[in-house]
Amino acid sequence: EPEVTQTPSHQVTQMGQEVILRCVPISNHLYFYWYRQILGQKVEFLVSFYNNEISEKSEIFDDQFSVERPDGSNFTLKIRSTKLEDSAMYFCASSVQGSKTEAFFGQGTRLTVV
C-alpha cells in the first residue's frame, strides 16, 4: 500500500542550526502539507503546497520556515535557525486533490532542539 515516508525519524540539533526534514509523498498525489505537534498538544497546520508553490500557510510558518519540492519526488521543510520552541513532531501529508480527498500522513520526524 502506498504511504508517505519521512526521514529522519528523529533529529537532534543545536539551537541556531539549520535543519531539513524530508518527505516522499504518495506518487500520484498533488497536494502536500506540513503539520507540527508539540509534545502533548494538538496537531497544527503549517503549510500547504500545490503546483510548486505555497497555497496557504499559518502564522507559525514565518520567515524561518521554507518548503521545497527539489526533484519532483521529495518535499522538504527547512528551518533556517532553530529555536528551542521548534522542538516538536513534524508530520508530512499528501492528498490527491486537496480538499476533495483525504490526506495521508507520514510517520513523523521528531525534532529536538537543544
Partner 1 sequence: ELKVEQNPLFLSMQEGKNYTIYCNYSTTSDRLYWYRQDPGKSLESLFVLLSNGAVKQEGRLMASLDTKARLSTLHITAAVHDLSATYFCAVDEGGTSYGKLTFGQGTILTVHP
Q: Does 99 bind partner 1 (CB under 8 A)?
A: yes
Q: Which of 26, 87, 108, 111 binds partner 1 (CB under 8 A)?
A: 108
Query: What does the angle CA 77 – CA 107 – CA 112 come to, to the nearest 5 degrees?
Result: 60
Q: Which of 19, 21, 25, 31 binds partner 1 (CB under 8 A)?
A: 31
Residue of 114, 102, 92 lying closest to 36 (CA atoms): 92
Q: Does 45 bind partner 1 (CB under 8 A)?
A: yes
Query: What does the angle CA 100 – CA 47 – CA 85 come to, to the nearest 5 degrees?
Result: 140
Residues in 52-91 that interact with partner 1 by CB under 8 A: 55-56, 91
Q: Which of 106, 111, 112, 113 binds partner 1 (CB under 8 A)?
A: 106
Query: What does the angle CA 6 – CA 75 – CA 112 come to, to the nearest 5 degrees?
Result: 50
**Parallel/antiparallel/unpaired status of strands 5-7 and 10-13:** unpaired
Write out the residues near partner 1 by the rule CB under 8 A: 31, 33, 35, 41-45, 48, 50, 55-56, 91, 95, 97-108, 110
